[in-house]
Chain A
């Protein structure tokens, strides 16, 4: 009995010191990523980062977010919920008086900003993502309402951005997805004015199933 106990302690100590397992090396390299990226952001071990068991993510909608666009935001989330076959994202109302900026505070939020730095005026929106280990713990979305106009049904002019398409993309980032460039996807880095890109593709479906 004491021997078993000691052996267990030794094994436990060894296990505590080991990080995630890396992928195998080959003729030229000593090690590779722990996992295939599958469209997700990876941590320094090459593990995909996602919300793991902390699903659904609750995004608080800041009071500055236009009420007439809340349905569009929820519709955008529903695309991801549908392909996952479960609720990945839901929403709550942010308390009045909370600052209208994407600060790191353990609360995931969506902001509608009338102020936006001129040096970043080409950005339609931005999503900040934070993780520890391979688990996401916060994500904040900010929409650039200073330099862009948005539409729901029909654009007023050719530079207007289809809000649902933009929000689908940003919510993809909230779920841990990175940009794609080689396959049809809602995660392409650029969304042209007046363009509609609101249908998730086969690549998007396959991606989301890698983690959720």
Chain B
């Protein structure tokens, strides 16, 4: 006669939790497996040119799918990095089809990028200070990211608040960054939150945008940039 296995209540609860954790890790492993880095094959002979994870290849997305998919790819791994002691936002790269149906990185079609920030927790006469960091869209050497545009805080914090425009050269002659401020009146705010990203195409009506609420919805929290931050 088989003995019926019975669990006492606390044992049963922990068993349920263990099973749930098992399912969770199973899903994580499966996800990792299906998004393994692989060489991209495209119809045009660009095979093996770009080495990015499969989910970053949006070249076959329908226009409807693309509208939101690019926002996830840009932002899901967004992080603050420090370049020569200056903080900037590093975003995710993704691939698209150009007008000749060739698969290319987003920066090939959208060569200029804006990072738009709002001061955190401060308003001067009801207006929140804003900062726009504008520069070239640069694909990182590992092709998985868009390079950060570092904000030269040392120079900014030592300038009068009336100065609303700064320029800074990127390392390795990769171009220059322009930084624009508005609504800064009494003092330089030092804590900023990312409230938008805008990629500019080669014509004035062609751009890709993400707003700050979308940043929060993807990351689960706002992305803060602090003056003098040196997180690597």
Contacts and interface: CB of A to CB of B under 8 A. Distances in A.
Given A22-B213, A23-B213, A44-B216, A2 B124 contact: no
A117 B162 CA distance: 10
B221 to A, nearest CB: 6
B55 interface: no
Interface in B194-229: 195, 211-214, 216-218, 220-222
B125 A127 contact: yes
Interface stretch (B42-50, B80-88, B115-123): B115-123
A46 B222 CA distance: 12
Interface in B13-39: 13, 17
Contact of A2 (B10, B122, B126): B10
Chain A: number of interface residues, binned into ranges: 35 or more
Nearest to A19: B221
Interface stretch (A81-89, A150-158, A172-180): A172-180
A187 to B, nearest CB: 7
Nearest to A4: B13
A30 B217 contact: yes
A120 B124 CA distance: 13
A117 B68 CA distance: 47
Contact of B122 (A29, A120, A129): A129
Interface in A146-188: 170, 172-173, 177-179, 187
B217 A126 contact: no
Contacts of B12: 3
A44 B193 contact: yes
A65 interface: no
A6 interface: yes
Contact of A173 (B71, B120, B125, B211): B125
Interface in A39-67: 41, 43-46
Contacts of B121: 43, 130-132
Contact of B17 (A6, A30, A33, A117): A6
B67 interface: yes
Contacts of B231: none
Nearest to B122: A130
B9 interface: yes
Contact of B186 (A3, A128, A172): A128
A41 B212 contact: no
A27 interface: yes
Contacts of B67: 27-28
A170 B216 CA distance: 32
B9 A3 contact: yes
Contacts of A43: 121
Contact of A126 (B9, B125, B162, B220): B125
A177 B126 contact: yes
A33 B213 contact: yes
Nearest to A137: B121
A2 B218 CA distance: 35
A173 B126 contact: yes
Contacts of B222: 44-45
A31 B213 contact: yes
B9 A2 contact: yes
Nearest to A187: B126
Give 6 closest A-B pairs by Cβ, nearest first.
A178-B126, A31-B217, A31-B213, A3-B13, A129-B123, A30-B214
Interface of A: 2-3, 6, 17, 19, 22-23, 25, 27-34, 41, 43-46, 102, 117, 119-120, 123, 125-132, 170, 172-173, 177-179, 187
6 contacts: A3-B9, A30-B218, A44-B193, A126-B125, A127-B125, A128-B122
Given A2-B13, A29-B213, 12 more contacts: A2-B10, A3-B12, A29-B211, A34-B213, A123-B185, A126-B186, A127-B126, A128-B123, A131-B121, A132-B121, A177-B126, A179-B126
